Amino acid sequence: MDIHALIKIIQRDKPGMLNAGPVDATPLTGGVSCEIFLLDDGEHRLVLKRALEKLNVKDDWYADVGRNRTEQQYLRYVADFLPDAVPRVLHSDDANGFFCMEMVEGGLQNWKQALLAGHYQMGVAQQAGRILGTIHARSFKDASLAGQFANHANFHALRLEPYLITTGKRHPSLQKYFEVAVERIAASRCCLIHGDFSPKNLLVSDSRFVVLDCEVACFGDPVFDLAFLLNHFFLKALRKPEDALAILALASAVWACYQRAAGPVVDADFEHRLTGLLPLLMLARVDGKSPVEYLGKPQQALIRTFVAELLPAPPKSLSGLIATWTKTLEEESCCENS
């Protein structure tokens, strides 16, 4: 069913949400897992989102489109205590596999694009840590949420298999580290996690911070959420090593604010698990099913070497891991300039 047919369904089922007559449908840039359109009838502007069964990547990658419902549930849950941090859900149509939400206006910028443009906003990083920590703390050990978000097969299909399992198979000498991580993450039932809490899914401004694309949400491992976000700073520091200190300072800010907001979620072993998972995710964004687009072959090779050497004994603190990565980047820069 094409977008024009979906528009007609909305006009029929939700009169007043869209006026009868022509509606402009503009594709929006999203991830690899869904179709997103901005609908505009001249009076109303809203976003329609529909999950794809086969994701738009080179490898064969399939997932249950029921994750569309999961995203709506996550947005509604978070809206109860952080109403400005998520877009409002306006309409659900499970039969046709889509939902509509508000078009977030007001000059917000995609955080990934801001980072790639060299805008390293400490306040945004602090807000990211606070909001993620708040969601984790609010849902910590909530039995009713554990049942509502028991979407672990979906999380396996969209995160564990394409990132960690696939990468482990492509690096047999390191596979045991990936297998241990997968087993631990899959067994965790701690709090509600987003599953894709990364800069591309965050809209930011001086006055608002909005979380998007939560279709991978489940009741699971908070370490995964935080590592998934921090990984992007490590990779972007490699992309632009002359800005590495500023970029990695954002990672430290996220971690500091996360700890304060997350409270009891951060147990005695949390940071050690975090520093063990981060290198795996670094390699996964090179050799998994969803590699980042901004690293060249020499940079990819550097990550492979760094991770292989680090995994037998990773630092136990995030500050230690940042220091080790910073030293690696400095040494690489010296070699290039010699």
| DSSP per-residue string spanning 203-270 | EE-SS-EEE---TT-EEE-HHHHHHHHHHHHHHHHHHSGGGHHHHHHHHHHHHHHHHHHHGGGS-TTH
Same domain, 232 and 266: yes
How far is 79 from 91, CA to CA, in rounded Å?
15
More confident residue, 282 or 20: 282
Same domain, 74 and 145: no
Same domain, 302 and 328: yes
Instruction: Among 51, 81, 102, give the residue marking a domain's end.
Output: 102
How much is the pLDDT for 32?
60
- Percent of the chain whose predicted confidence (pLDDT) is above 70: 93
Same domain, 135 and 236: yes
How much is the pLDDT for 15?
87
Mean pLDDT in the chain? 93
Q: List the one residue out of 141, 145, 143, 138 whose CA is nearest residue 82.
A: 138
**Secondary structure of the chain: what % helix, strand, coil (to 5)?**
55, 15, 30
How much is the pLDDT for 170?
98
**Mean local confidence (pLDDT), 32-52:** 87
**Mean local confidence (pLDDT), 304-324:** 98
Domain that holds residue 59: 3-102
Helix (H, G, I), strand (E, B) or coil at 330: helix
How far is 158 from 281, CA to CA, in rounded Å?
14
pLDDT in tens, 68-120: 889 999 999 999 999 999 999 999 998 888 899 999 988 899 999 999 999 99
Same domain, 136 and 172: yes
Same domain, 19 and 91: yes
How much is the pLDDT for 85?
98
State the total domains in the chain: 2
How much is the pLDDT for 60?
53
More confident residue, 338 or 148: 148
Same domain, 229 and 288: yes
Indicate the pTM of the whole model: 0.93
| DSSP H stretches of helix in 80-187 | 111-116, 122-139, 143-148, 152-155, 166-170, 175-187
**Mean local confidence (pLDDT), 245-273:** 99
- pLDDT bucket at 173, cuts 50 / 70 / 90: very high
* CATH number, residue 76: 3.30.200.20
Residue 338 has pLDDT above 60, yes or no: no
Instruction: Among 49, 80, 102, give the residue marking a domain's end.
Output: 102
Instruction: Among 102, 121, 150, give the residue marking a domain's end.
Output: 102
